[in-house]
Amino acid sequence: MAAQPKKIIIDTDPGIDDTMAIFVALRSPEVEHADGHFLIDHPVEVTHWTVGMFNDPLPKCDPPSFISLLFGDRYDDTMAIFVALRSPEVEVIGLTTIYGNVYTTLATRNALHLLEVAGRTDIPVAEGSHVTITKGTKLRIADFVHGKDGLGNQNFPPPKGKPSEQSAATFLIEQANLYPGKVTVVALGPLTNIALAIQQDPAFLKNIGQIVVLGGSFSVNGNVNPAAEANILGDPDAADIVFTSGADVLAVGLNVTHQVVLTDADREKLARSDGKFAQYLCKILEVYFSYHRDAYLTKGVYLHDPTALLAAVDPSLFTCTEGVVRVQTCGITRGLTILYNKQKRFGEVTEWTDKPSIKVAVTVDAPAVVKLVMERLMDS
């Protein structure tokens, strides 16, 4: 008897690699889609590693049951969304939106637009917070990476669909209550919506299955400044709430996503394919490639969001360590993620003492991730 696919919600700030991830999810057989179609699940096997600061055995990562996409607003969000929608391993039961690469209102518009492109307007979109968890209104918006519209300055026409009347936090709480222990949230932007759900409903932590976070930079520099990764810097207070909440959290940081590169040659393959999602992405990718050429002097782009999405779809592609993660919320290192791996016993109480551990991804089968992303984008 075929196993039920995982249910996911994507919390996202829709951009290019978010789109890829969502399209892949809709092609993953481990995931159940909102139309109730089930495909075969697969077993997950966890390994370990012994490099540098991460030398603990990798904890066994059970595959999540549902995926909820916490949606962003940039190219890589777009990739992630397309990948998710092409992943029969998971059922995408909703998109929730958040600021990041564009403001939340535009993130919601992009989410609705991408679902129309994918022919999946049955999937609900819940609009997220317009301010940080501390009510901050000075938001860091990275439109210079993904274009003013988050989708390569293509200025697509407005979507016909409308978002849910529920807020993102309320939607997350409701779905966790409906499917206790079965919903996985894939967070592709700042963690404000999830932190709000934690604050608004004490039962949320008990009911939610897993939270996969695209965020942090563990033992490497950030991508906003040497200390901070963009999603964590977007709302460091929210990130610290989520990381210390006691939820089953897996953080996928720059130390992993910078290993996964879509090359110019890969882009040419997408352009030659007949896949609907591949053709759509080729229209919007130039701004993203141009940014990487200028910022990183590389002929390719990092697949941040699709990589995080695939950590939920197929955990066997990753190895992890465990430890307490705290987030610096002020000063020049604001947004810094600091992992205590419990290798040393300190003689005094610290800010990490008695806090719950999370999982942190440390290695990835990068060729397998790129191959899977390419296959699911071209087979559309």
Residues serving a catalytic function are: 304
3-state secondary structure 204-243: HHHHCCEEEEECCCCCCCCCCCCCCCHHHHHCHHHHHHHH
The sign of the dihedral angle between the CA atoms of 285, 290, 293, 295 is: negative
- Up-side HSE of residue 224: CA atoms within 13 Å toward CB? 21
Residues 93, 9: contact at Cβ < 8 Å?
yes
Residues 182, 7: contact at Cβ < 8 Å?
yes
User: Could you give the CA distance from residue 81 to residue 115 in angstroms, rounded to a whole number?
Assistant: 9
* Rg, the chain, Cα only: 18
User: Could you give the CA distance from residue 214 to residue 306 in angstroms, rounded to a whole number?
Assistant: 10
